Structure 1
Amino acid sequence: MTKALIVATNVPKFNNVNRATGLWLREATHFHKVIQDNEIDIDYVSPTGGYIPLDPLCLSGDSMDNIDWDFYLDNHFRNHYLATSLSPKEVTAEDYQVIYFAGGHGAMWDFPENKNLAKIAQQIIANNGIVSANCVGTTALLAMRTKDGKRFTAGKKLTSFSNDEEALNGLTSEVKFLPEDELKKAGANFIKGDPFKPNVVIDGNLITGQNPNSATAVGEAVIKDLLK
């Protein structure tokens, strides 16, 4: 039975300014819907397990569409997936064929150096599974290593939230780092599209999306890979 593991942040606040953060809801819901519509079971995991906070900005205005509202108003989604996510020690990597790192600025603080999550992803890809990520979630790849100890990102074609998008957000000076810069420093072949437009980059069993509006396309690329 094919299963997918969605990874989300536990961080509710920037560590340097009084600004709330967390998971950007669309990055989970739009990917979740594609996977669910293809009758694939889903679990959620977070760095510490338990409650997954939502960035309050993702719940306002044009940030929410019908898919987001359907999930947000679903008691099982909120009370099971978001409130009681698994911890890494509760995850058996061999049970999953797909891992997906969802974004939200909170991920900057608990994804890039998380060896426990990296180990799960490394085991999944070693078993010919798929490692996927979106937006800031791509920074989780910074902790991954190859079998010979080299950076997983070295030479990989990928994308994430771009410097241009962070500048348009007005958060360049407040975020922990710029994902585009850090991934390039780690040897990645960074490929970006227009700000806030869907952009997916595929390199073998690695599938990455640029921004929240890319989450559906990442899910579709994952399904296409699974079916080939």
Structure 2
Amino acid sequence: MGGKQSKRRERTIAIVCTSADSMDGHATGAWLEEIATPYYALLDAGFAVDVVSVKGGKVPIDSASESGDFFTADCQKFYDDEDAKKALANAKALKGVKSGHYAGIYLAGGHGTCVDFLNNATLTRVIEETLAADKPVAADCHGPVALLACKKPNGDSILKGTNATCFTDAEETAVGLAEKVPVLLETEFKKLGAQFNGAADWTPNAVTDGKLVTGQNPASSKACVDAFLALLKK
């Protein structure tokens, strides 16, 4: 039995999602593409996936990610997939997550993360323990807000001197939410000493530094999970 559990841990990834459906009065949630794209990329690569959310239960989805060009082929596939829909409706609670149970952690974005990923002590612990165990962590778009509280073993910010990216201040302004978010991610990354690698608005962009992968925006979801998979295969 122990051998089976160990093998599963080596081949299982936690996709961590927000449980927040509003931010300063603005209806939001998780961004569907940022869950669906890594979900299928990981399954196709032979990994099992646990969908996790801060509170557990149903993951709220930002309605903007269910419309127009934002609703990608992976999004449609996800909504046509009974197993995927069940996982999204019955996410595991973050409080029950132990980093040792997973081969890596993937943080999906959406503005909801600005509410419950920010300064979340449990999520901070999971990220720090995963990296300390030399396992990869990926965070896309607003998912990197969880990194702001994370520390290196020497007490420095995990972002100090680290090549990284996230949803840029220009992109936040473009979507009209610069005054709603609790922090501007790019600004905070730079304050914490990150070597910030931003691309033009809405351009796919993922950055790897050690075992940490960061993606800039929803369009970066494929680049982000591909870089994450490259680390998992090392």
Same topology, TM > 0.5: yes
Q: Which runs of 5+ in 1 are unaligned?
A: none
Matches for 1:114-133 after TM superposition, within 5 Å? 114-133=120-139
User: Aligned residues: percent identity?
Assistant: 36
* Contact 1:26–1:215 (Cα < 8 Å) also in 2: yes
Q: Does 1:181 align with 2:187?
A: yes
Question: What's the CA shift string for 1:170-207, capped at 9, x where partnerless?
Answer: 22222222111122222211110011110011101111
Q: Aligned pair in 2 of structure 1 residues 14, 89: CA closer, same or farther (>3 Å)?
A: closer
- Correspondence for 1:14 among 12, 23, 29: 23
Specify the SS of the correspondent of 1:149: coil
Listed as ranges, the gaps of 5+ residues in structure 2 are 1-9
Distance between the aligned counterparts of 1:37 and 1:4, measured in 2? 13
CA contact (8 A) 2:106 2:138 kept: yes
Deviation at 1:126, TM superposition (A): 1.2
Normalising by structure 2, we get a TM-score of 0.92
1:30-109 → structure 2 map (5 Å cutoff): 30-79=37-86, 81-109=87-115
Distance 2:176 2:155 in 1: 36
Determine if contact 1:121/1:131 at 8 Å carries over to the other structure. Answer: yes
Q: Distance in 1 between matches of 2:116 and 2:189?
A: 16
Segments ≥4 residues shifted beyond 4 Å: none
Shift in Å at residue 148 of structure 1? 2.9
Secondary structure class of the residue paired with 1:139: helix
Structure 2: distance between partners of 1:206 and 1:215: 15
Per the alignment, residue 161 of structure 1 pairs with 167
Kept in 2, the 8 Å contact 1:48–1:88? The answer is: yes
Show the counterpart of 1:5: 14
> What is the root-mean-square deviation in Å for CA atoms of aligned residues?
1.2
Q: Which residue is 1:206 aligned to?
A: 212
2:27 aligned counterpart, secondary structure: coil
- Distance across 2 between alignment mates of 1:168 and 1:96: 36
